Amino acid sequence: MANISQSKHRFFSQTLDDTIKKLEVPGLQELSSATIVRELKKELFLLENIFAEYDSKTKQLKHLISQYQKIQHDARIRLRICQQICSKQ
């Protein structure tokens, strides 16, 4: 699974948005161009929503990993203490 970096996402989104603006000229008569612009806008909207969800879930996952590491660290310390007590008996 590949990670989606915010900088790559923003660069692509900005490029797509700039292209849409260039294609949105007043009096655009060609139906195929207007259709392409509409489709690009939909795709940009979908990409923004997907990235926002991805970013949110990534933050949640980082938080879970942090919690896991802290609990594991604390458990290791307690385990060492117990092992030391047991070895003295």
14/78 Cα distance (integer angstroms)? 51
Tell me what the mean pLDDT of segment 52-62 comes to: 95
Phi/psi for 31 (5° steps) reads -60, -40
18-25: long-range contacts at Cβ-Cβ below 8 A with a sequence spacing of 24 or more? 20/44
Q: pLDDT, tens digit, for every residue of 16-53?
A: 988 888 877 766 666 667 788 889 999 999 999 999 99
pLDDT at 1 over 60: no
Report the percentage of the chain scoring pLDDT > 90: 49
Phi, psi of 37 (to 5 degrees): -60, -45
Q: How far apart are CA 83 and CA 63, in angstroms?
A: 30
Q: Which run of H or of E encompasses 3?
A: none
